Chains A and B, each alone.
Chain A
Amino acid sequence: MPTQVNFDSLDGLHTFPRLLFHHAKVRPNAPAMREKYLGIWQTWTWSDVAERVRALACGLASLGFKRGDNLAIVGDNRPHLYMMMSAAQCLGGVPVPLYQDAVAAEMLFVLQDAGVRFAIVEDQEQVDKLLEIKDQLPSLEHIVYDDPRGMRHYNQPFLHDVHELMEMGRIHDRNHSDFLNAEVEKGHYDDVSVMLYTSGTTGKPKGVCQTHAAFIAAAQGGAQVDKLGADGDILSYLPMAWVGDHLFSFAQSLVCGFTINCPESGETVMTDLREIGPTYYFAPPRVFESLLTSVQIRMEDAGQLKQRLFHHFMAVAKRCGGDILDGKPVSSGDRLQYWLGNLLIYGPLRNVLGMSRIKVAYTAGAAIGPELFSFYRSIGINLKQLYGQTETCAYVCLQPDGQVKADTVGAPAPGVEIRIADNGEVLVKGAMLLKEYYKRPDATAESINADGYFLTGDAGFLDEDGHLKIIDRAKDVGKLSNGAMFAPNYIENKLKFFQFVKESVCFGHDRDMVCAFINIDVGAVGNWAERRNIAYSGYTDLAGKPQVLEMIKSCIEEVNASLAHDAMVADSQVHRFLVLHKELDPDDDELTRTRKVRRNFIAEKYKVLIDALYGDKGNQYIETEVKFEDGRRGKVSADLRIIDVKTFPIAKKAA
């Protein structure tokens, strides 16, 4: 049973420290956190955690930590780091988790912006980073470290071992036994509970201030939708600075009372996943993808019998697995087959993946391929998508059980209102909205409109079932010349779900039709070509082969067929395309370092190709300069064929 938060009564459980001490009272011996030490899982019960948090908070107080101070947290997911979050909150301070793999110079801005006086870091590596920039951080007074390894020769007086801090705190607590209770009592649900920095892909990072009320509301809403209880386990391995981890690991575990499990190290996550067998799991799409690939590779090495069994039952799962999970009617023959498959294939497979006990798994952060998504659902793993951003506690839409669709992010979560602006932008409102951007009233005012809606910057629409479909960043969405909406990213993602398409760029803003550049995936297409005895010398050659073009054409036609079903985007079917003669490359400024397409730059650079696409030419000669990794420059040239694609009539919805 999730604990009910009562915002009305003063002694209600409406801050995280109160929730923590509540759990310590009602379930003192239940596991709260686990961590592997010397190869053996160690458990801290809720009363252990409460005792340590108490000691840490008092220790911080005796070092001079005051209400309103910010505490930087840098490191992998470690129990002591989570405890320090609670400790800071007990004193009315604000934890500020940072991405642990950032270099010192990248951390500098956030540490300066937040005016950090105290920091808790994981180990020597992080201590070194802070020492490197300490000169530029006049406000930084104390650094606490969790792992003493390699710290023997550091004798700066402002460095403290976390155990030393706890000892200080225990003495302080004995001398002032009422101090901490009074501090916790002073906490209010409208206080800022955490500050999470946005990644800053556009401009400087901004500190998003979230209150106790916001995160508790988000955590409760999610727990209600997924019926989370106190008996669950989650593997906490995603960066603590990321809003998702803060919601799933920190907020929801404190609201529901389930157990946080910290992996031994980044490399052991997969082993730890199998050992813990979490009931609640979160991973970005690429993790699910690599898991599936490893399964497929191992299956290819398996014996004949095993392979046949696997393929037979995977076909069964594909046919009816998803429906069985959703509780839809399925013929009894299929049911029997699925039951058998569960015994022989799906069950063992789930076990190998460490997902035997999973009740709910979530993915978000990027578009997930429909095939991939339905694979996991078909073998009985309740994989769902969610949608949200740092400013909304990662809580806007959730897919409720039984209504999971691969191409939407689900229905608005409890307590969330969604409105679609005229330009297609998704606006949201609810208890989970940010209080403000730290020291940035200008940015706060810009992002929340007069009606109190937060501007997400994403474009989307609600489908006939009221599920939100995100199609693109709002600023990228254009209009075709007939006035229909054009969302390039949406189409590009659909294209990229084909393993043969590595990258694609769609054009159509202010044009009468959509045309596309395609980059083929050399690995996948090369393999495809080899199996057909098509000889090729390199990317440019392969990209020009008529068979390859024909194959890409059929992929695009498939996309067109699926676009035609959706009234909102049916006009965006791809009419003409070409396969580029070189791979888009960050070295040539065509992609960002995070491999996002730089649309305008490409449009400029390949203007002659775009003119050819929108003209009626059948081919176009192009010569492009490329930079090699060693700094040399060369030229690539080719005569590119432009290919017309079949489009489909727009499916009219039955009135």
Chain B
Amino acid sequence: MSRKIGDVILDLQNISLRFGGVKALTDISFDIREHEVRAIIGPNGAGKSSMLNVINGVYHPQEGKIFYRGAERKKMEPHMAASTGIARTFQNIALFKGMSVLDNIMTGRTLKMKSNMLLQAMWFGPAQKEELAHRRKVEEIIDFLEIQHIRKTPVGRLPYGLQKRVDLGRALAMEPQILLLDEPMAGMNVEEKQDMCRFILDVNDQFGTTIVLIEHDMGVVMDISDRVVVLDYGKKIGDGLPDEVRSSPEVIKAYLGAGH
């Protein structure tokens, strides 16, 4: 592999998040390096999705600091996350069911469109040129994800596995530097999982995208990630290479219960 893992791109320090009296995350610190595949695992309710939502600015932790490319990130909104190069997919697919695959992925380009709305509506002059350029990028993604055959199909008519792939496509359309994937393989059969793994690794390899991944399938996590963070009841109980994490007694306890 020619891919080189770079410097720390996102550093999370002592993050705590509370919803009223409920502690979702307690004093969690870990970092994400450029070009790596970083997995967040843990039992149900461990705070994985909350962690992801902290990273892309949906939730604001009450305590702790976040450094993005060395600079401390203050108050931020999700749309700001998008414009700084963080994209995500959702656990429950969030696509426009009535729109075609092509249009759905095209929505991922919205932030990058510069011309004004009136020109876009009239499809005139610079807007036309711009849209063609974006369409080209979208077609490259369609080609990359091998979904040419459903280009014009409304997303609602597609099987679940393909919808997940379109969701990934929409996130990729933003050409993100960090891609957050929330359970990209939930509910898939073995073959679909293998395809998804291949696409994730290809994205990471070909575009150098840093990937942060929440996943339940341990086989998948151990296979494709460079480093793994383990959460349990909102606390970090493990962090390291897949093999280290797998053999850590605390992690085993969290997953299999005490007594083992």
Q: Which residues of A line the B interface, CB within 8 A?
A: 36, 38-40, 149-150, 152-153, 264-265, 267-268, 271
Contact = CB atoms under 8 A, between A and B. Distances in A.
Contacts of B149: 264-265, 267-268, 271
19 contacts: A38-B139, A38-B140, A38-B142, A39-B139, A39-B148, A40-B139, A150-B202, A152-B2, A152-B205, A152-B206, A153-B1, A153-B2, A264-B148, A264-B149, A267-B148, A267-B149, A271-B149, A271-B151, A271-B152
Contacts of B27: none
Contacts of A264: 148-149
A300 to B, nearest CB: 18
A455 to B, nearest CB: 43
From B2, B136, B149, residue with most partner A Cβ within 10 Å: B149
Given A150-B202, A265-B146, A39 B2 contact: no
From A38, A150, A267, A268, residue with most partner B Cβ within 10 Å: A38
Contacts of A267: 148-149
B217 interface: no
A39 B202 contact: no
A152 B140 CA distance: 17
B7 interface: no
B2 A265 contact: no
Which 5 pairs across A and B sit closest by C-beta, in order of nearness? A267-B149, A38-B139, A268-B149, A39-B139, A264-B148
Interface string B131-151: 000011001101110101101
Nearest to A264: B148
Nearest to A267: B149
A153 to B, nearest CB: 6
Contacts of A152: 2, 205-206
The A interface is mostly helix, strand or loop, or mixed, namely: loop
Nearest to B198: A150
A152 B144 CA distance: 15
The B interface is mostly helix, strand or loop, or mixed, namely: helix
B146 A39 contact: no
Contacts of B202: 150
A265 B145 CA distance: 13
A153 B1 CA distance: 7
A40 B139 CA distance: 9
Q: Sort chain B's interface into a size bin.
A: 10 to 19
Interface string B53-90: 00000000000000000000000000000000000000
A40 B143 CA distance: 12
Contacts of A271: 149, 151-152
Contacts of A150: 202
Interface in B191-212: 202, 205-206
Contacts of A149: 144
A220 B152 CA distance: 39
Contacts of A39: 135, 139, 142, 148, 151
A36 B135 CA distance: 15
Interface in B206-238: 206
Contacts of B143: 38
A533 B186 CA distance: 42
Nearest to A36: B148
Given A152-B205, A152-B206, 8 more contacts: A39-B139, A39-B142, A40-B139, A150-B202, A153-B1, A264-B148, A264-B149, A265-B149
A257 B173 CA distance: 41
B2 A268 contact: no
Interface in B128-183: 135-136, 139-140, 142-144, 146, 148-149, 151-152
Contacts of B146: 265
Interface string B104-142: 000000000000000000000000000000011001101
A269 B173 CA distance: 26
B234 to A, nearest CB: 40
A265 B151 CA distance: 12
A384 B140 CA distance: 40
Nearest to B149: A267
B148 A268 contact: yes
A581 B133 CA distance: 63
Nearest to B143: A38
A256 B136 CA distance: 35
A38 B143 CA distance: 7
A40 B2 CA distance: 33
A242 to B, nearest CB: 22
A153 B139 CA distance: 24
A267 B2 CA distance: 33
A38 B136 contact: yes
A268 B206 CA distance: 25
A150 B148 CA distance: 18
From B2, B142, B146, B148, residue with most partner A Cβ within 10 Å: B148
Contacts of B2: 152-153
Contacts of B206: 152
A153 B140 CA distance: 20
Contacts of A265: 146, 148-149
A268 B152 CA distance: 11
Contacts of B135: 39
A132 to B, nearest CB: 18
A268 B140 CA distance: 16
B202 to A, nearest CB: 7
Contacts of B140: 38
Nearest to A153: B2
B154 to A, nearest CB: 14
Nearest to A39: B139
Contacts of B205: 152
